[in-house]
Amino acid sequence: MYKVLVMDNVAEEGLAPLRQNPEIEVVIGGKMTEDELCAAIGEYDAMIVRSATKVTARVVENAARLKIVGRAGVGVDNIDLAACTAKGILVVNAPDGNTIAATEHTIAMMLALARNIPQAAGKMREGIWDKKAFLGVELRGKTLGILGLGRIGSAVAKRAQAMEMEVVAYDPFITEEKAATLAVRLLPLEEVLQKADFLTIHMPKTKESYHLINDDTIALMKDGVRIINCARGGIIDEAALYRAMQSGKVAGAALDVFEKEPNTDSPLLALPNFIATPHLGASTCEAQLNVAVDVAEEIVAALTGGLVKNTVNIPSISPKALAAVRPYLGLAEKMGRMLAQLVDGRLKKIEVVYSGDVAKCEVAPITTALVKGVLDPILQEVVNFVNASFLAKNRGIQVFQACDGEGEGYSSLITVRLYTDKGENSLAGTLTGQNEERIVMIDGYRVDLVPARHMLYVPHQDKPRIIGPVGTLIGEHSINIAAMQVGRKEIGGKAVMLLSVDCPVPPETLKAIAAIDGVFSVKMINL
């Protein structure tokens, strides 16, 4: 008999797959402290949580029988993935259960914004019938700009088209062919901002998208634009939005998410043309039921030997094959993350070649880890070891893998190339000693770099007075350089510099480095 602990008031109807299995006993847990959970968890084979319960490293340490933790939702921030992975515990989530809920909330916010519905309803409750004060606009014939054309962005596009809106989108990680199947025109960010009457955001919050909507980008927009964000707080600079709404540049805005939550004292709330909801995107009865059912089915599969589809930490392969490739998974994912931050343009193809001993392994999980690394920083969807290849295919990104046997002097070598509409970038990596990760080649230049959390990539002319000024500029901001590698092919030609730093280099310093005579470009890489 397997025992499953269910926390955080997960929808009872969603537990049906568990209760219908005679081999599974379901126990509903009340609110527990970390100490109480540590004391109780040892007798359970599986656990389901929402966002309240924290599955910490201490909890995992005390989980003698635990095989799987399910998150009835998308995010897994409350689960220590590293601790679970180290102990061989699967972590699963429900990435698709709230798609329709978030889509419909976006449409509801757009309609409310167009017709001033919350403001008019508020006046009615005050006993005021003021028909003239709330003149709205129609959606038909308007242009909807979508930033991020993933699951939710695509679903919003479909519904907007049903209301006879023209839809344009910015998403550098979806192909034009895929967008064409959605009848959506892909455009550069600046053009989407310039054309949109309504602008809706469906992107993840990354270092590239943080405060993407700011004073400068708002200045590119039409006068009277209306902005909706039901994705992630922090993509909009809320102070800049406030200024634009006060000036009339932005006719109205509707936010379901804020940079800091909960948030009930934002200056935006004082503006009459602002609409807000308290992060309700996934808050429907159906969504809560869907995510509970999805996770319950995953728990049943994991406990009874079935296929687990939505693992976020461990690929679903045999234990023997997993043991052989496990040391390479972290390296491959980091290589993917690095390359995703180096490339420019629209991603079209990922190519990976395995050489040496690694070529004798079951390399498909390594490729999946690499694709996950490429997509994870740039997609709003949750990317895991099961859906990474599907998400790439769904966006028209081709993935090729090959094994060539020879390791170019290394016992094992993984070489990756990303191709975009603007060119290609490549990395090669290996494991040395006690499975120590190394980047040994970047864009054809030989280096020997340990992947670090923060790295600076500086292609430059091979000549004096490049390295010194770069180091000086970084030092002026009291940022320590932990390691540095320089690679070149010929004296006086093009060279590359890679620096491991203790913290991110500020944007103004990056601009100063890029302005050094002989520096071609500069990229901040965060792993």
Helix (H, G, I), strand (E, B) or coil at 299: helix
Asked if residues 28 and 18 have their Cβ atoms less than 8 Å apart, the reply is no
Distance between CA 56 and CA 512 in Å, rounded? 42
Question: Structure tokens of 323?
Answer: 């043991």
Distance between CA 91 and CA 391 in Å, rounded? 19
Question: Residue holding tokens 């995510």?
Answer: 291
Establish whether the linkage from the previous residue to 262 is cis, with ω within 30° of 0. Answer: yes
Distance between CA 87 and CA 443 in Å, rounded? 36
CA 199 to chain centre: 20
Helix (H, G, I), strand (E, B) or coil at 392: helix
The CA-CA-CA angle for residues 322, 323, 329, to 5°, reads: 65
Distance between CA 414 and CA 410 in Å, rounded? 10
The CA-CA-CA angle for residues 257, 227, 341, to 5°, reads: 70
Helix (H, G, I), strand (E, B) or coil at 434: coil
Ranges of beta strands (E only) in 41-97 are 46-49, 68-71, 90-92
Asked if residues 525 and 505 have their Cβ atoms less than 8 Å apart, the reply is no
Asked if residues 104 and 162 have their Cβ atoms less than 8 Å apart, the reply is no
The residues carrying an active-site annotation are 232, 261, 279
Tell me which residue of 261, 369, 275, 285 sits closest to 325, measured CA to CA.
369
Asked if residues 521 and 459 have their Cβ atoms less than 8 Å apart, the reply is yes
Helix (H, G, I), strand (E, B) or coil at 372: helix
Distance between CA 158 and CA 318 in Å, rounded? 40
Distance between CA 96 and CA 386 in Å, rounded? 13
* Alpha-helix runs per DSSP H in 425-527: 467-475, 507-514
* Alpha-helix runs per DSSP H in 438-483: 467-475
Distance between CA 161 and CA 174 in Å, rounded? 19
CA 298 to chain centre: 22
Distance between CA 146 and CA 453 in Å, rounded? 31
Question: Structure tokens of 345?
Answer: 């343009």
